[in-house]
Amino acid sequence: MSTMTNVIPAGTRRPERRVQPGQPRRGAAVATIVLILGALYCLVPVVWVLIASTKSNSELFTTFTFAPGASLFDNLSDLFTYGGGSFGLWAMNSVIYAGGGAVASTLISTMAGYALAKYDFPGRQVWFYAILAGVLLPGITLAIPQYLLMAKLGLAGSYWSVLLPSLISPFGIFLARVYAQSAVPSDMMEAARIDGAGDARIFTSIALPMMVPGMVTIFLLQFVGIWNNFLLPFIMLSDESKYPLTVGLFTLLSKGSGTPSLYSLAIIGSAVSIIPLIVMMLVLQRYWRLDLVSGGLKG
Amino acid sequence: MTATVQSPAPARTLRRARRRWVPPYLFLLPAGVLFIAFFAIPIVYAIYLSFRGFRVTGGGPFGVRQEAWVGFENYIKTFAEPEFLAGFGRLAIYGVIAVPLTLGLALIFALLLDLPRIRAARFSRTAIFIPYAVPGVIASLLWGFLYLPSTSPLNWILDKLGLPDVVMLSGGALYPAIANVAIWGGVGFNMIIIYTSLRGIPSEIYEAARIDGANEWTIAWRIKIPLVGPALVLTGLFSLIGTLQVYGEPTTLRPMTTEISQTWVPLMKIYRDAFARDDLSLAAASSVILAIGTLVVSVILLRATQRKSFGGGE
Chain A residues whose beta carbon lies within 8 Å of the beta carbon of residue B14: none
Give me the torsion for CA of A91, A94, A96, A101, rounded to 10°.
Answer: -170
B30 min Cα distance to partner chain A (Å):
6
Ranges under pLDDT 50 in chain B:
1-9, 309-314
Chain A residues whose beta carbon lies within 8 Å of the beta carbon of residue B137: 228, 230, 246-247, 249-250
Confidence at residue A101, expressed as pLDDT on a 0 to 100 scale: 96
Within an 8 Å CB–CB cutoff, is residue A228 touching chain B? yes
Domains in chain A: boundaries: 79-298
Q: Is B116 left (phi over 0), alpha (psi -120 to 50) or beta?
A: beta
Local structure of B146: helix, strand or coil: helix
For all residues of chain A together, what is the average pLDDT? 83
Q: What interface predicted TM-score (ipTM) does this complex get?
A: 0.82
In chain B, the residue whose alpha carbon lies closest to the alpha carbon of A256 is: B255
Beta-carbon separation of B200 and A3 below 8 A: yes
Chain A residues whose beta carbon lies within 8 Å of the beta carbon of residue B124: 32, 35-36, 38-39
- Which top CATH class is A79-298? mainly alpha
A84 min Cα distance to partner chain B (Å):
22
Per-residue pLDDT averaged across A19-26, rounded?
55
Q: Nearest CB to A230: which of B21, B118, B248? A: B248
Give me the torsion for CA of B252, B254, B257, B259, rounded to 10°.
Answer: 130
pLDDT bracket for residue A77 (50, 70, 90): confident
Q: Nearest CB to B245: which of A11, A44, A141? A: A141
Name the CATH superfamily housing domain B81-311.
MetI-like (1.10.3720.10)
Is the pLDDT at A2 greater than 50? The verdict is no
pLDDT digits (tens, 9 = 90+) for A158-212: 999 999 999 999 989 988 998 898 889 999 999 999 998 889 999 999 999 999 8
Chain A residues whose beta carbon lies within 8 Å of the beta carbon of residue B128: 35, 38-39, 42
Beta-carbon separation of B127 and A11 below 8 A: no
Q: Check: CB of residue B179 under 8 Å from CB of residue B104.
A: no
CA–CA gap between residue B146 and residue A47 (Å, rounded):
11
Confidence at residue A258, expressed as pLDDT on a 0 to 100 scale: 61
pLDDT digits (tens, 9 = 90+) for A280-297: 888 887 777 666 665 554
Residue A251 burial (C-beta neighbours within 10 Å; 0-12, 13-18, 19+):
middle
Confidence at residue A222, expressed as pLDDT on a 0 to 100 scale: 92
pLDDT digits (tens, 9 = 90+) for B57-73: 666 666 677 778 888 88
B178 min Cα distance to partner chain A (Å):
14
pTM above 0.95, yes or no: no
B294 min Cα distance to partner chain A (Å):
7
The amino acid present at A133, given as its one-letter code, is A
3-state SS of B168-227? CCCHHHHHHHHHHHHHHHHHHHHHHHHHHHHHCCCCHHHHHHHHCCCCHHHHHHHHHHHH
- Give B22's contacts (C-beta < 8 A, 6+ positions apart): none
Local structure of A197: helix, strand or coil: coil
Domains in chain B: boundaries: 2-50, 81-311
